[in-house]
Each structure stands twice: as structure tokens, then as C-alpha cells.
Structure 1
């Protein structure tokens, strides 16, 4: 395993920079997604942030037995992705634990002594095949996501934060059991479409992003949004829905790959502080 990757964060040069400037006081630039001089350096950085995302998920209580997975597409080989080993608690995972597989399921590198979740492979490989823009995928059986999934309904735009999913999430309402068959993964990918997230009926949540940071932040946000929706529904009062105009504005301002990457950094930095960077090795 290569030494811990470092890179100087630079303000983003993509269209998301305007949104990030608008989110900062007096329009000061926020640091964007870092650039790297080599595939090796970016790969190590991705694995560190992947492991950091698992530590955040562990602290949030998303671990459930051997279920749940995050994958990140390899920066050099587009037909390969990295995924977590089966049977290791999210809170114990390190960058060196991750396994690299190709789209047929063949182990290519990384932790070659570990095995991967068969259902996880079917879901992640199908999405990586169908969405070249997706570099990271998060799926776990979080409590409130599972609860809300039983209704097979999308989230209502009932607060500012859930607008990050405005017209960008769907519902997969044809539960096919544990996704051990390629066809189930393909149906989930089809249901996701070109969106950022999908609610899997009777199953849980799945989010995607250009970085693992984006996908992980969206997962945490979607899980909390499911909790908020359940609380609002239980009150039995009429809900006030954010207008389409305002929801679309919030989405444009806050749901770009750059801003969502930045949103995750406080969570990542907190885990880095608590562990002394242990997960980066």
C-alpha cells in the first residue's frame, strides 16, 4: 500500500464553483475536489476517503451484519472498481482492506485474500456499467431508509435539505429479494436512471456520486431525510411543501458534485481526528 495520499485542495474550476461561492460568506471560494499528478496518487486518495466514509457510516449506525457496501471506480481502469471485503465491520475498515474487481467479478488487486458480497457485486457492477459518470456508489440497510422504503414513495420536498434530491431520486418498487442475480442489479440500475439516489422498496437506500465523498454525504442526508419524513408523517398534520421553484433553486445551489464533496469534509476530518488517521493505511 502506497503512503497516505496528499494533495492541495484548490477552488473548483467547474460550473459548481459559482454555487460554492454563493454558499460561502461574501462569496469567498471554498476548496474543491483536488487534482492529482498520477493515477496512483488519486487511487490512494480515493481509498482513504472510501475508508473514511465507512467510519462515518459506522458512527451513524448503518452497519447491519454483513450487509452494506461502498464502491469506487478505479481512476485508471474504467472497467474496475474497489469495494469493501465481506464480513468486516464498517468501523474497522482501512484503505488497505479494499478489494479491486473487474466488471466480471474477477479480483484484480488490493486485498486479494478477502471476499466480496455477491449481492453487492451485482448491484454495483450493473450501475458502473450503465453510468460512466458515476464513480462511487453507497448502499446500506440503514434504519430509517428501510422504514421509509416500505411505503415505496419518493421523499417530499418538506425542508431545505431534502431539496438536494429534487427530481433526482427514484423508487425501485419491484422488490426481487437478495440481489444475487445479475438481473436484479440491472433492474436497480435502470430504476436509478440518471439520478443521484434510489429508494429500494423493502430494502434500503442507494446513492451515487462523482466522488465517494459526494455519494456518502448524499447517503447520510437521504437517511436523515427519511427520518424527518417519518416524523412529519407521524404528526398527522398537513405538510407544507417547498415550491417547485424554490426546490429547483436549492438543488442548483447545493447539489453539485463540488458542493456535496465539500459538505462531506467536516465528517471526514472528524473521523480522521478521532482515529489519528488510522483508516488511511
Structure 2
């Protein structure tokens, strides 16, 4: 027997749940380790491109600051101790490595605009970049795409590398209340109430963009168009696969694999 989320139900079945912590230090250590693991996941998924891309998470003790990857370090090598903490004034407050200026401009604004957001993710994935260059958004073509149904904004004003705080603020406004935003002619950005959900939304958004592009290309070859899921079904499916817990939970197998294969994420 299964519930509406597709899980088997019973009185003695175990299901992972977000962890609780005895201290701020323990929570900080966990957030940083998961953040390091998220970068390892991005690397495995081919979402690393030179020095581009960044994922951030608020510090649990000083939530107006966030942890981010050091500029120019390969995602596959990042450990907890490599992470840098940035303040609300865009200044490094902990760590001795330089930080990507675009990361500071974008994430400072996003975290300021969305107090409910703990983490934000951005990278230059090939499918995300391609879709961002087209006059389209994510469409409800598949079950996974429905996670973003009416839950993705568009920043439609590319002006170059984002280094101006004012442009970061406009990206935050374009994101609005959504879990994702398309940065036109640039790529994608996702957010969540945990590192896990923000990272998962980015991974599945990149794959969803790839499927959408392939669907349109295949349909064009047959002289047809892709079939969209009906609005009522798309909305209902978003309720099943697009919630915060669903995003957090989808990341758990990835976390288990990476933390087992690379225990140095804690170092």
C-alpha cells in the first residue's frame, strides 16, 4: 500500500528525516559537509565549467552570512575546511581564499530577498545554458518537470557577468517566491530550505531542460509537437514531487554515496 507520495506505508517502516542538532557547531559542520558533497555531485554530473558556478548555505549561528566555494577550486576537491564565509556586506569574514565576485553579487541579493531560503545553487550546465538562450521556460512535459510547474521565474535582462549588486537584486526579484529562476542567456539558479533541496532542484532542473530540448528536437523531426501534461495534473504532481521535503529526500541517496566514497568532505 502506498500514500500520495508513492511511499509504501506501514507501522514499522523507516524513512529518512531532516536531522536535528545539539549545538550550532554541529549544525554548521553538517551544513558545510553537505555543501562540500553538493559540489562533488555537481562535478560528477558535469556541472563544473572552469571557475563558473557556486552553491551557498546560510551559517546557522550568523544567518546573515553564508558559506560558499573558494574561487578557482575544482568542485571535485572541495572539503568543509575549504569553504569561505561571506557577510551581508559582501566581505569575507572567515577563510583566506578569494570568492567569485558573481557569487557574492547574486547570492547576497538572493539570501537578502528570501529569508526562507537557506541555500542557493548556480552552475553553467549545458542544457540550462541552451534553454536559457531560447524564448521558453520549463514546460510540464514530464513528471519531473512538474516540480517546477508555475514555480520558476525568468530574469530576462542579460548584461554580462553579474558583478553589480543592483543586478543581483534584480535577479532576486525575478526569482520571487519560486524555487528556481532562468537567467536568460546565462543559465539557471535554484534555492531551497536546505543545501540538499537546492542542489537537487538544480540537478533535476538541468536534466529537465535537457529532456525538454530533446523532446522538441525529436518532435520537430516528426513534424509534431511535444504533448504537455494538463494544468490540473501538472499542479497536482507538483504537490507530490515539488515540495521542500521531496527535494531534501531526493538528495539523500546522493549524500549517502558521496559521504561514503569521499569522507574527506568533513575535513
Aligned residues: 260
Shift of 1:29: 5.7
The equivalent residue for 1:136 is 119
- Tell me whether 1:266 sits opposite 2:253 in the alignment: yes
- Residue from 120, 128, 140 that aligns with 2:103: 120
Q: Secondary structure at the match of 1:70?
A: strand
The equivalent residue for 2:238 is 251
Shift of 1:21: 7.2
Structure 1 100/128 Cα, relative in aligned 2: closer, same or farther at 3 Å?
same
The equivalent residue for 1:79 is 64
The equivalent residue for 1:64 is 49
- Tell me whether 1:38 sits opposite 2:44 in the alignment: no
Task: Structure 1: state its 5+ residue gaps.
Answer: 1-18
Distance in structure 1 (CA, Å) of the matches to 2:173 and 2:96: 32
Using the size of structure 1 for normalisation, the TM-score is 0.89
The equivalent residue for 1:14 is none
Deviations 1:160-205 (A, max 9, x none): 0110111110111111210011111011111000100011111011
- Tell me whether 1:225 sits opposite 2:208 in the alignment: yes
Q: Is the 8 A contact 2:3 2:9 kept in 1?
A: no
- Tell me whether 1:146 sits opposite 2:97 in the alignment: no
Deviations 1:27-61 (A, max 9, x none): 65622211112111111100000000000000001
- Tell me whether 1:165 sits opposite 2:148 in the alignment: yes
Task: Structure 2: state its 5+ residue gaps.
Answer: none
- Tell me whether 1:22 sits opposite 2:42 in the alignment: no
- Tell me whether 1:104 sits opposite 2:89 in the alignment: yes
Shift of 1:20: 8.0
Shift of 1:25: 1.4
Distance in structure 1 (CA, Å) of the matches to 2:4 and 2:33: 27
The equivalent residue for 1:242 is 229
Q: Is the 8 A contact 1:21 1:30 kept in 2?
A: no
Distance in structure 2 (CA, Å) of the matches to 1:25 and 1:97: 40
The equivalent residue for 1:53 is 38
